[in-house]
Amino acid sequence: MPTDDHRQAVNEEDARRRAGLSAFPVDRPNDSSDGIGLEPEYFPIFRGSDGRSIGRMPLNDPPTAGVLDVVDNLACSEREISSRRGGPIGPWEYDLSDGGRITFEPGGQVEHSTGIYGSVAVAIEDVQRVLGCLRGALGSHGAVLASVGMDIWNDVETVPQQLPFGRYTAQAAYYDRRGEWGRIMMRHTASLQINLDLGGAGRWRERWLAANLISPLITATFACSPGEGGVSTRARAWQELDPTRSGFPAGLVNGSLSDPRAQWASAAMDADVMLFRAADGHWHPGEPGFSFRRWLRDGHPKLGWPTIADLDYHLTTLFFEVRPRGWLELRAGEQVPDCWRAAQVVLVTAALYDDLSRQAILSRLDGHRRELPELWRIAASRGVGDDRLRELACRVWEESLRGIERLGEEYFGAAAIDCARRFHEEYTASGRTPADRLRELQQEDPAASLAWASSMKESSSMEGLAG
């Protein structure tokens, strides 16, 4: 919480040092771990007798059953899910027996954060197991879990904010001060975050840079939130809602800072303060233009100066395409249907974890560093339908496919490798995205698009599911 005593406030030099080290801890020269964690999000949607959406299933809607009731019942009957417990968002958080957890986003999106696994194959298996458990339980209440980047079946205004906690209310108020995109992002989008290890002294700088350089290609390749004038409305929301805390650190893009710690620290100082927590525990929304650096320099007229705790919380509100947190949180990906999820995870992981692939990608993409913001915008509007992005994506994912061979089937799993190869051939190399397929199905029949997003088609092969 802020302090009225300027002597107890954190100073900018210490704030920068702490921000840099919290993102990239001291080098670990012998660290060769290549763990992975996944954070998929899904939309719980009521499905009518005609197969079309009849609205988003609310989290809590007495006396009828909401998502929380369903998960509560699962916690009582399934070994996978433990009882509900208090967490950062309030009482709506569930532990999983494997070290993961289930939480919820402001629009009621269900989020599954897996544990950290030693292979992609096991991480994907865990996602499918938990997803199957949730889908089976929701299905008995007439609901499906749709796995795409944006809810295209329900208008955002029909989905109220469903996390009645102070910080989420203040966050919504802050975004509303900047425009309409905050409510779209918070209540109407779903991501697939991939969390990867930094690696030891010989790798972490390369992985950080490569992760940023491929981020527009992740968006362009796996876009699955079609909207007016674009294939990734989710990415468009992040581009518009608050440019001070999204996209790419300026020091990385313009080359003015070579040290990743300095790049991140500078970005943190430049970002506007989203939320203030007063001594009485109440949350207050920030004002656009009031950066953390300004707070350090001038203090807040009512709340005083920031402490280390305020800095630490501020760092959790930064949503750049890659967020370093002692590991790399890759935020560019959005949800795709089950049949293609493994392709995204496999291709992205191989690009960073295989040394030869990563170095080849760095050599190919580093010359485009200053173009990252532009490429990101093109990715949201055209995806790999853009000739330049398609050429770059094909070259990068072909390097990944070679890296997959070197890292091996045991690490990725044969089915996931096959999925990645087929996705690259059928979508990326053909200049298509999952958003194109979702749009086609929606125009054909909204029931068909919802079935595809919810993996409801029965088929003997993933190709049949891909439709």
* Residue 85: predicted pLDDT: 57
Per-residue pLDDT reduced to its tens digit, 429-460:
999 999 999 999 999 999 999 999 999 853 32
Per-residue pLDDT reduced to its tens digit, 172-195:
999 999 999 999 999 999 999 999
Strand 319-320 relative to strand 246-247, pairing: parallel
Question: Helical H runs in 98-232?
Answer: 120-139, 166-176, 181-188, 204-222
Going by the DSSP 8-state scheme, the letter that residue 88 receives in this structure is: T
Residue 445 domain flag: yes
Per-residue pLDDT reduced to its tens digit, 274-284:
999 988 888 99
Residue 336 domain flag: yes
Residue 213 domain flag: yes
Confidence category of residue 463, pLDDT binned at 50, 70, 90: very low
* Residue 64: predicted pLDDT: 75
Q: What is the pTM of this model?
A: 0.94
Quick one: CA torsion of 97, 100, 105, 110, rounded to 10 degrees?
-60
Cα 354 from Cα 245, distance rounded (Å): 30
For tokens 């905050």, the residue is 182
Cα 41 from Cα 436, distance rounded (Å): 20
Range of the domain at 388: 36-252+326-460
Q: What amino acid is encoded at 107 in this protein?
A: G
Name the domain count of the chain. Answer: 1
* Residue 65: predicted pLDDT: 79
Residue 207 domain flag: yes
What is the CA angle 96-100-102, rounded to 5?
A: 70
Whichever domain contains 154, its CATH number is 3.30.590.20
